[in-house]
Amino acid sequence: MHDFLSLLPLIIITAGAVLLMLLSTFEKTNVETASYISMGFYGVAFFVQLVIGCGPEVTIFDQTFNGMLVANNFSMAAGLVILGCGFFTSVSGHSYFKVNQFCTLEFYSIMMFASCGMILLTLAHELISAFIAIEIMSLAIYILVGYDRQNVKASEAILKYLMLGAFAGAFFTMGTALIFGAAGSTKFMAIAAALNMTGEISPLLLGGSFFILVALLFKVAAFPFHAWVIDVYDGAAAPVTGFMATALKTAAFALFANFLAMNNVMHSGWVTFLFYLAILTMFGGNLVAIGQDNIKRMLAASGIVHSGYLLIALVALNAEQFSGSVIAYYLAAYAVGTLGIFAALSYLSGEGERRADFADFKGLAKVHPYSAAAITVFLLSMAGIPPTAGFMGKFYIITSAFNEGQVTLAVLGVVSSILSMWYYLRLIINMYFHEATDTFEIQGTPLATAGTFALVFCVFAIALYPVVI
Amino acid sequence: MFEYALSVMIFLPILAGLLLLLCPVSKGAARAIGFIISVVILFIGIEIFLGFSGKSGMEYVEHHSWIPSLGVNYALGIDGISLLVLVAATFLFPMVFSVFKTKTKGFYGNLLLAQGAMIGAIAATDLILFYVFWEIMLLPIFFMIGIYGGEKRLPATLKLTIYTIAGSLLMLAALIYVGTSYHEQFGKWSFNIADLSALSLGGGFAVLAFLMFMVAFAIKIPLFPFHTWLPDGYTEAPTSATFVLSAIMAKIGVYGVIRFVIPVFEIEFTRFAVLFSLLGVAGMMYCGLAAIAQKDMKRMLAFSSASHMGIIALGVFCLNVQALAGSLFQIIAHATSTGVLFLFVGLMEERLENRDIDSLGGIAYRAPVFATFFAIAMLASVGLPGTSGFIGEFLIILGAIKFSSFIGFLAGTTLVIGVCYMLWMFQRVFFEKSKESTDSFADLTTGEILTFVPVILLIIGMGIFPQSFLEKIEPTAQQHIAQISAVSQSQVADTTVQNPGHNNHKN
């Protein structure tokens, strides 16, 4: 009973995806209905996940499919973030596709398939099933990125992402093979036991785990595998970018954390490597972000910086008593902020996303004061200014870093957030301190607007009642 | 009823400010709401001041758990250190609302938000809570300068914001370091300042964390050489924002040093005291000299305000009761004198649309009441006996001489510079020949007179009867100094025994 329950949200989402796929054969169902259906399924799955995950036990079930999947509080929290992202992406898609009409029913179906892969990824404690989950997720995301076939930028984005993603997938399989050769199993439990026997990482295992880390670093867009992210985020439609930036990152980081936290030997073997990567990711991302004039590209680059902060959390995690609460909280905080901005962009950027640059949003506060205020809240949250969720997330990460003795990393994380103030403030300054030149007519349905304000509420709710799992 | 007085003082303005920002309210109604709220806060403030017993402990304490897993609490309280800063933050706001009528509702909303956040920062006894309010209070200032400021407002806003946020993020790292050290030493989490003072820190990280705290507060005060954002920021800001920045926000920087840095970093503080007090004196001199050269009245006052902040900071670094009490006293004296001078300049600007000292003149003939009020505030600012400024500066200089006669001498002589630029400016603007530009200058209206009379009375009252204020400050100041000297002496003795050359080298 229990193992079924822990998989129930996954099953619900899959059922929704299949249902939408079937419905798309009927001419009568239109895109709006599809977005309502997907919202409904995401909502139900979210609620079920919440009910199951809210129990007092830390590990809800750890023997599903002979230990291949483990449901614990961390996976539940990550799953909640992913389901929430799916919900709000459907909401903003509802408005966005009213204006940019290249959407068909399959869009929502594919998005839900992607979510299936992501949720499976949060549960996976075995390399083959992790690989399958990654591929389910990635294939769906490739399609979503290039959904607008008329758009050259989208085609460029999908080509880049597909090629590089295929490489990353190959690295992952290679790593799996090497690890299997070294440890005789692909299960994390068994690998951990093998590591404990020797007390150090054998060369074969080292190589295998290196390849797996490369694949994961690619997925989370960490230095030096971050170059794709700018063009891909820019080319994809705003709701898709929002979904990729949040849900995909959540799923990838969940597996990343589970893999590293498998045992102490594995974690301590990679700490130094990740230490330097975290620093380079934060500062590299900042340098890229400062130079951008386009908001989506800036957000893509700032996503790299946030990956850097999450890498700090990975360096500072305690493999003995891993709870993942810091990582899950930061992912949730980052997700609400980013989703919020993309939801706002969905209804503000207009047909063909013609408002995309910082300069295009000059004077927004004079025309739409509430929308401008909402975007400001999201930006401040991403910048880590209290009393927003982003501040709490940063606070937890820096606290965990200090607590594990990573003082350098904590201080550099703070320095990096000083740098990132520049590009977050830049948009606020454009919105507030200039006269409006544009009329900023809002097209599409009011749903995205409602979603934006719901997310503003979430930013404060998560911050002021921090449920550290 | 006064059990939750501090919470009410924090959240009433914040909620009212948010409501003003979110709801369509007319300009006049917004100003009226702002005025009423600030008067309500003023009455609660007076009640707290009168009800404060001054027995060197926290009063009006509130304590609720916020993030239990990290020991972060919603903890508020007022003691002798925060009392006068709180008074400054409550007494002066109604004036802003009653004097300036031309702003939009967004401006009044931001002003209320700033007040709530500042009171929060003053009343918080938990470091994280303090940090939260500390950051929030910057946001309304950011918008006030950026939207309603002068011509060159954009660079000024950016400079101020990036500067202060950089400082406060460094402070965030430092305060988390303090929290984790507490966790290491005592096995539980706490960010409460009373717990943290039990902490014994040492080594390079402690010095680093101390410097990070100090940089954050030094930027806010602003202490030389972190003052470069100030002239632009103060000049470009609309007058009421300048007033808030100079009269209250700068004081919260000083207050932060006294409240959070001294109890936690006793050893580092004593070690660096000479350096920082020299910085204070250098700031006094540099900003004073710069003020003489200014042509713009507001810019001149900006430098003068920075110069006076230097002496307040000096009082904190002198490590004795007189200087500390003097600084706390001077906090409110400075707010009522220099802060109010900014308001007067704002009034002049509203009437004449001109702040250029050379093109003004003869205002005293046109507006005798205005000139008198201005003169009283100005004389308090230069420290004339019988005004509030004298008591504060006297105590600080006294303490400074006890601390080091050289620094005391420097500080005492530097005060003369203040007299120079103030009186010279006064002569050029209010006397000499009356010029065309000032011919039509109207004197204060009855409403304005009524607004300013209480402050003018306060300036004189504090100068003549300082004891009613000092008796509330001194017990806490004494306790504070006793604590720091006890810890640092034992510590200095230890280091001297182990490594004789070490101590001399540091000093």
From residue B259, give the alpha-carbon distance in Å to each of B117, B118, B123, B477: 17, 15, 11, 11
Compare CB distances from A399 to B136, B139, B180 and report the shortest one's residue.
Answer: B180
User: How many domains does the structure of chain B reveal?
Assistant: 1
Q: Which residue of A has its CA nearest to B183?
A: A403
Q: Would you call B423 exposed, middle or buried from its count of C-beta atoms within 10 A (0-12, 13-18, 19+)? A: middle
Q: Which residue of A has its CA nearest to B146?
A: A433
Token pair in block for residue A239: 């709701």
Task: Name the CA radius of gyration of chain B, rounded.
Answer: 22
Token pair in block for residue A205: 């295992």
CB atoms within 10 A of CB B69: 10
What is the interface size between A and B, counted as CB pairs within 8 Å? 74
Phi/psi at A70 (nearest 5 deg)? Answer: -130, 125
Contact A46, A83 (CB under 8 A): yes
For chain A, the farthest-separated pair of C-alpha atoms sits apart, in whole angstroms, at: 68
Average pLDDT of B197-216?
A: 84
HSE-CB for A379 with a 13 A CA cutoff: 25
Q: What separation, in Å, do the N-terminal and C-terminal C-alpha atoms of chain B show?
A: 51
pLDDT of residue A2: 66
Please give, rounded to a whole number of angstroms, the shortest distance from the CA of B230 to a CA of chain A.
19
Give the amino acid at B307. S
> Cα B312 from chain centroid?
9
Q: Does some domain include residue B284?
A: yes
Percent of chain B with pLDDT over 70: 94
pLDDT of residue A59: 65
CB atoms within 10 A of CB B22: 12
What pLDDT digit, counting tens, does each position of B140-174 carry? 988 888 888 878 888 888 888 888 888 888 898 88
Q: Is the pLDDT of residue B496 over 60?
A: no
> Cα B245 from chain centroid?
8
Distance, CA of B474 to CA of B472 (rounded, Å): 6
Please give, rounded to a whole number of angstroms, the shortest distance from the CA of A445 to a CA of chain B.
22
Question: B157 contacts in A (CB within 8 Å)?
Answer: 429, 433
Distance, CA of B324 to CA of B475 (rounded, Å): 11
Compare CB distances from A429 to B70, B154, B165 and report the shortest one's residue.
Answer: B154
| Contact state of B135 with A399 under an 8 Å Cβ cutoff | no
Residue B242: which pLDDT band, with cuts at 50, 70 and 90? confident
| Residue (of A143, A228, A140, A218) closest to A175 by Cα position | A218
pLDDT of residue B489: 64
DSSP assignments along B220-232, one per residue: HTTPTTS-THHHH
| Contact state of B132 with A425 under an 8 Å Cβ cutoff | no
| Contact state of A433 with B157 under an 8 Å Cβ cutoff | yes
Compare CB distances from A432 to B22, B132, B147 and report the shortest one's residue.
Answer: B147
Question: A375 contacts in B (CB within 8 Å)?
Answer: none
DSSP assignments along A97-120, one per residue: HHHS----THHHHHHHHHHHHHHH
> Using alpha carbons only, what angle is made at residue A302 by residues A299 and A303, rounded to the nearest 5 degrees?
85
| Residue (of B396, B400, B399) closest to B408 by Cα position | B400
HSE-CB for B431 with a 13 A CA cutoff: 7
* Omega before residue A387 within 30° of 0, cis: yes
Token pair in block for residue B477: 């100041």
pLDDT of residue A88: 93
Distance, CA of A346 to CA of A95 (rounded, Å): 7
Contact A56, A128 (CB under 8 A): no
pLDDT of residue A62: 67
Contact A293, A280 (CB under 8 A): no
Q: What separation, in Å, do the N-terminal and C-terminal C-alpha atoms of chain A show?
A: 24
Record the pTM. 0.90
Residue numbers of the domain that contains B421: 266-477
Percent of chain B with pLDDT over 90: 3
Contact A319, A261 (CB under 8 A): yes
- Is any Cβ of chain A less than 8 angstroms from the Cβ of B177? yes
CB atoms within 10 A of CB B271: 19
Give the amino acid at B348. M
Q: Does some domain include residue B151?
A: no
> Using alpha carbons only, what angle is made at residue B25 by residues B23 and B26, rounded to the nearest 5 degrees?
160
Contact B177, B273 (CB under 8 A): no
Sign of CA dihedral A97, A98, A100, A103: positive
Token pair in block for residue B174: 């430092």
> Cα A43 from chain centroid?
18
* Omega before residue B222 within 30° of 0, cis: yes
Contact B74, B94 (CB under 8 A): no
> Using alpha carbons only, what angle is made at residue B108 by residues A341 and B130, rounded to the nearest 5 degrees?
65
Token pair in block for residue B240: 């009421």
Q: Which residue of A has its CA nearest to B134?
A: A386
Q: Does some domain include residue B364?
A: yes
pLDDT of residue B498: 43
What pLDDT digit, counting tens, does each position of B164-206 carry? 888 888 898 888 888 888 888 888 888 888 888 877 777 778 8
Window 380-439 of A, Cβ < 8 Å to B: 380, 384-387, 391, 394-396, 398-399, 402-403, 407, 410-411, 413-415, 417-418, 421-422, 425, 429, 432-433
Distance, CA of A239 to CA of A94 (rounded, Å): 10
Q: Quickly tell me which residue has 């205020």 as its tokens.
A: A373
pLDDT tens-digit profile, chain A (469 residues): 567 778 889 999 999 999 999 988 887 778 888 899 999 999 999 998 888 876 666 666 667 777 788 888 888 889 999 999 999 999 998 888 888 888 888 899 999 999 999 999 999 999 999 999 999 999 999 999 988 888 888 889 999 999 999 999 999 999 999 999 988 888 888 898 888 888 888 889 999 999 999 999 999 998 888 889 999 999 899 999 999 999 999 999 999 999 998 888 888 889 999 999 999 999 999 999 998 999 999 999 999 999 999 999 999 888 777 778 889 999 999 999 999 999 998 888 888 788 888 888 888 888 888 889 999 999 999 998 888 899 989 988 998 898 888 888 988 998 898 889 889 988 998 888 888 887 777 777 788 888 899 999 988 888 887 665 4
Contact A226, A280 (CB under 8 A): no
Token pair in block for residue B266: 């006793």
Which are the contacts of B319, defined by CB distance < 8 A and separation ≥ 6?
B269, B270, B273, B403, B481, B484, B485
> Cα A249 from chain centroid?
3
3-state SS, residue A433 = coil
Bridge partners (DSSP) of residue A72 are A59
